[in-house]
A = this chain, B = another copy of it.
Amino acid sequence: MDSRLTELVGLLPDHSVLTEPDMTAGYRQDWAKDPSAGTPLAVVRATCTEDVQATLRWASTHRVPVVPRGAGSGLSGGATAVDGGIVLTTERMRAITVDPVTHTAVVQPGLLNAEVKAAVAEHGLWYPPDPSSFEICSIGGNIATNAGGLCCVKYGVTTDYVLGMQVVLADGTAVRLGGPRLKDVAGLSLTKLFVGSEGTLGVVTEVTLRLIPAQSACATLVATFDSLADATGAVLGITQKMRPAMLEFMDHTSIGAVEDATRMGLDRSAQAMLIARSDAPGEHAGHEILEMGDICRSNNATEVFSTDDVDEGEAFCAARRMAFDAVGRLGSLLLEDVGAPLTQLPALVDGIAQIAERRDVTIAVVAHAGDGNTHPLIVFDPDDAELTERAHLAFGEVMDLAITLGGTITGEHGVGRLKKAWLPDYLGPDVLELNRRIKAALDPEGILNPGAVL
């Protein structure tokens, strides 16, 4: 064994370092399945902050690249292994302490989002951010990508719930930032800087989350439309009038794919479907749903259905959340998460349809419509080189379109490695340079997640 590796093994608890190729293979890629993934020197399965410190001190000394990894459910290749580097996974760091008085939880990064929700629910509390992958994604990965989800239209994104953290810097120094306090302006807002930094600035080993009281029972509305424009028109009508607890969009292709998978009776003939929820207290939820229904009808909805049965409503949300998997049965996918200012949502959805037609590829679209964040899913067959090329062209054109409309190339998945080529266009040279200066200030040797984002 490489003498550097022998040294690393000696620094860490037994069985923390995997080096056998059959053991490390599962850590080479995340869900983006980046084909250019490298072969790591080793995988470190940290058990505590000190393990992370020892690994980064060692990596700094030997200038070995380190790719931090949560649950590996990332969709942009942010946790893709690099040749000769270390994959540092926090999957074994899973402690949580909930404080019901301060409405905070102190959580290690390896706990899954769903596990955080369950633990705080025991105290009548709620951790809102809810990526569709909430049952399999880790809170550490959520911090790294500033994860969003379905409830963000009303409740905001991950960064809005991060009050503090412990983070290990590139040289192995562990620092504590912020804490269980809603207000703290002593020094620069470093806590927020680390949220969404995709493992390029440090490795978060503990996070202090802000919680809120448990959500009221939701009432749910489902509406179908004969045209994309009617559906997006209804979205703008609803958001202008109120703040729904959820406002999701599915297009014809994704409706069909989900119906194939579930046989739950969705209207396959619809061009678009909206699923909206209200969690206003008591009968106010019903009032909001009624008003949403009126707005959908005045935007030519073909059918409007509503329910205050929580399980029935949840079935529609589950249908929406399974869209990635369902569309995935149509072929391999290139996953986008472009966003636009809400007023540009109709132009974005329409433009994506035009790209699909021009490139002759299937692009299913699901969207967190209420916050302007869309998920075009480009279907291709990796064995068809010509189709694959057209799919990749469409992938870039969708991001170009978002930039043109004043939108973003990634709303919640992160830049990772797959969207990196479009980041300079999105940020422009001055902001890119600003990103580089911060990166250089915090990771001067460039050992943290090299090749990701910047």
Report A192-228 CB contacts with B as 1/0, cut-off 8 Å: 1101111011000000000011000000000000000
Given contacts A190-B434, A242-B213, contact A185 B145 (CB under 8 A): yes
A434 to B174, CA, bound (A): 11
Q: How far is the CB of A134 from chain B (nearest CB, A)?
A: 16
- Given A102-B341, A102-B343, A441-B437, A183 and B371 touching (CB < 8 A)? yes
Which chain B residues border A156 with CB–CB below 8 Å? 160, 182
Assembly CA distance A104 to B412 (angstroms): 20
Contact partner, A281, options B280, B415, B427, Cβ 8 Å: B280
Segment of A109-117, A146-154, A299-307, A328-336 in the binding face = A146-154
Q: 1/0 contact trace for A233-261 toward B, CB 8 Å?
A: 00010011011000000000000000000
With a CB–CB cut-off of 8 A, which chain B residues contact A419? 186
Copies in the complex: 2
| A101: Cβ under 8 A from any B Cβ | yes
- Give Cα A441 to B409, complex, Å: 26
Q: Is the CB of B341 within 8 A of A427?
A: no
A377 to chain B, nearest CB (A): 17
**Contact of B431 with A146 in the complex, beta carbons under 8 Å:** no
Q: Is A435 on the interface with B (CB-CB < 8 A)?
A: yes
Known: A213-B242, A419-B186, A431-B190. A236 touches B101 (CB 8 A): yes
Q: Which A266-301 residues have a C-beta within 8 angstroms of B?
A: 280-282, 284
What B residues does A438 contact at CB under 8 A?
Answer: 188, 190, 193, 438, 441-442
**In the bound complex, what is the Cα–Cα distance between A427 and B188 (angstroms)?**
10
Chain B contacts for A103, CB-based, 8 A: 239, 243
- A189 lies within 8 A of chain B by Cβ: yes
Hey, which chain B residues are within 8 Å of A435, CB to CB? 187-188, 190
Residue in contact with A183 in the complex, picked from B152, B243, B406, CB distance below 8 Å: B152
CB distance from A51 to the nearest CB of B (A): 19
A407 at the interface (CB under 8 A from B): yes
Among A138-165, those with CB < 8 Å from B are 145-146, 148, 152-153, 156-157, 159-160
Complex CA–CA separation, A185 to B441 (angstroms): 20
Contact: A101 with B181, CB < 8 Å? no
Q: A193-B188, A284-B281, A371-B182 are in contact. Are A101 and B239 (CB under 8 A)?
A: yes
Q: How far is the CB of A446 from the nearest CB of chain B, in Å?
A: 15
Q: How far is the CB of A216 from chain B (nearest CB, A)?
A: 10
**Among residues 360 to 386 in chain A, which have CB atoms less than 8 Å away from a CB atom of chain B?**
368, 371-373
Asked if B196 and A183 make an inter-chain contact with CB atoms under 8 angstroms apart, the answer reads no
> Please, how many angstroms separate the alpha-carbon atoms of A200 and B411 in the complex?
29
Q: Known pairs A156-B160, A169-B434; list 17 more (Cβ under 8 Å).
A: A101-B342, A101-B343, A102-B372, A175-B431, A179-B408, A181-B373, A181-B411, A184-B408, A185-B198, A188-B435, A189-B193, A190-B434, A190-B435, A192-B195, A193-B193, A280-B281, A281-B281
Q: Which residues of A are interface residues toward B (Cβ below 8 A)?
A: 99-104, 145-146, 148, 152-153, 156-157, 159-160, 169, 173, 175-177, 179-190, 192-193, 195-198, 200-201, 212-213, 236, 239-240, 242-243, 280-282, 284, 339-343, 368, 371-373, 406-415, 419, 423, 426-428, 430-432, 434-435, 437-442, 453
Q: What are 17 contact pairs spanning A and B, CB under 8 A?
A: A102-B341, A102-B342, A157-B182, A175-B431, A179-B408, A181-B341, A182-B371, A182-B373, A183-B339, A185-B415, A186-B408, A187-B415, A188-B200, A188-B201, A188-B438, A284-B284, A434-B442
